């Protein structure tokens, strides 16, 4: 903790996941003051919001009188109606639809509350303190169970007509590909996500020519993207091909985004981005081949800049996120101050 005399004003970032509720107090100059993590229950929004507000009050009480609470930004996995302050749709928060989330939290805290989609807050965090620091225009892809997306223009999240801009996960990368829950076929997130990796692994196991993968699936109760990645890193060709397929899908998606938007920086985050070594060669290969803009503006080594170094003018930078799962907390704290 900092000495009280130097604590500036602060804000609160909240990451409201399906299983975890994480809250951070962050100073206006980007220092993490404190972070707490609570489990979320399925008891519904009333209960969860009550616990969240109690935790925020406890946290902010420690800093009140030293600096002012400027507000809180709350990241929610789903589609948010920003004007009304309600969750329109969330696969992870059952029973939250149309509950007056912002109004309830503002009533309990008496502070400015901003709701936002969690992937968009992660982009704001990376823009403020992470891989896109110093950049004005960027996009972020968060690779997890699906693909979250965000477009930032002139330092602000671009929402589109009703907050749904940046749904990169449901861009078609295979016209006749596998069906997606959204109703389309061949969506990017059916290939370039944790569930995509496991799905593709089960598909190749069914061919009967992948003894190491089949053994892993039989012995590992979780059979996760992580364990398939470990197998790829041990040199198993079928496991490596799954991540090449992953990289190819992601590269096709990125090539389209780069061609449409011509932004400075594209940040790849989320849990599965840690498999970067396994998928990024195929991703950069597709990008170079399919995007005329990327081919004309790629950094010389065409593998993105060194993590954390300054942006290079006129170059299209595709790089890994730097803040991990804290990106959304920083982005949430940043939002009420913009």
Smallest distance from Zn ion to CB 253, Å:
12
Q: Which is nearer to Zn ion, 28 or 195 (CB)?
A: 195
Closer Cβ to Zn ion, 74 or 188, answer by number:
188
**Of 253 and 327, CB closest to Zn ion:** 253
Residue 287 CB, nearest approach to Zn ion (Å) = 21
Q: Which is nearer to Zn ion, 166 or 331 (CB)?
A: 166
* Closest among 318, 11, 334, 19 to 140, alpha carbons compared: 318
Nearest residue (CB) to Zn ion, 71 versus 163:
163
Give the shortest CB-167-to-Zn ion separation in angstroms. 8
Nearer to Zn ion, 188 or 228 (CB): 188
User: Cα–Cα distance between 151 and 16 in angstroms, integer?
Assistant: 21
Q: Diameter of the chain by CA atoms?
A: 66
Measure the CA–CA gap between 53 and 227, rounded to whole angstroms.
37
Minimum distance from residue 60 beta carbon to Zn ion (Å): 39
Query: Which CB sits closer to Zn ion, 117 or 316?
Result: 117
Please state, as a whole number, how many other Cβ atoms lie within 10 Å of the Cβ of residue 61. 10
- Residue with the two structure tokens 């406890």: 58
Minimum distance from residue 137 beta carbon to Zn ion (Å)? 26
Q: State the minimum distance, in angstroms, from the CB of residue 196 to Zn ion.
A: 11
Smallest gap from residue 289 Cβ to Zn ion (A): 24
Q: How long is the chain? A: 338
Q: How far is the CB of 248 from Zn ion (least distance, A)?
A: 18
- The residue (of 102 and 248) whose beta carbon lies closer to Zn ion is 248
Which residues are at the interface with Zn ion (CB under 5 A)?
A: 170, 180, 182, 184, 187
């Amino acid at each position: 903790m900092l000495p009280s005399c130097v604590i500036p004003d602060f804000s609160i970032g909240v990451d409201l996941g399906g299983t975890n509720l994480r809250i951070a107090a962050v100073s206006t100059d980007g220092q993490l003051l404190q972070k707490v993590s609570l489990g979320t229950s399925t008891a519904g929004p009333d209960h969860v919001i009550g616990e969240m507000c109690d935790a925020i009050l406890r946290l902010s009480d420690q800093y009140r009188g030293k600096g002012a609470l400027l507000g809180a930004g709350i990241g929610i996995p789903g589609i948010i109606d920003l004007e009304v302050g309600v969750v329109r749709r969330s696969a992870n928060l059952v029973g939250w639809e149309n509950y007056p989330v912002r109004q309830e939290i503002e009533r309990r805290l008496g502070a400015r509350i901003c709701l936002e989609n969690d992937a968009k807050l992660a982009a704001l965090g990376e823009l403020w303190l992470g891989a896109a620091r110093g950049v004005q225009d960027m996009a972020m892809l968060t690779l997890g169970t699906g693909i979250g997306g965000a477009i930032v223009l002139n330092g602000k999240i671009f929402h589109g007509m009703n907050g749904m801009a940046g749904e990169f996960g449901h861009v078609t990368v295979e016209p006749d590909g596998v069906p997606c829950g959204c109703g389309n076929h061949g969506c990017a997130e059916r290939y370039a996500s944790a569930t995509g990796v496991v799905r593709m692994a089960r598909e190749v196991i069914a061919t009967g020519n992948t003894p190491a993968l089949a053994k892993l699936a039989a012995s590992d109760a979780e059979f996760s993207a992580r364990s398939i990645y470990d197998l790829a890193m041990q040199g198993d060709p079928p496991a490596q091909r799954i991540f090449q397929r992953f990289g190819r899908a992601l590269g096709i998606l990125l090539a389209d985004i780069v061609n449409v938007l011509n932004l400075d920086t594209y940040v790849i985050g989320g849990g599965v981005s840690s498999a970067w070594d396994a998928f990024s060669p195929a991703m950069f290969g597709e990008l170079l081949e399919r995007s005329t803009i990327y081919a004309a503006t790629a950094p010389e080594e065409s593998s993105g800049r060194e993590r954390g170094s300054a942006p290079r003018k006129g170059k299209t930078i595709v790089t890994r996120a730097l803040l991990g799962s804290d990106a959304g907390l920083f982005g949430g704290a940043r939002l009420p101050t913009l």
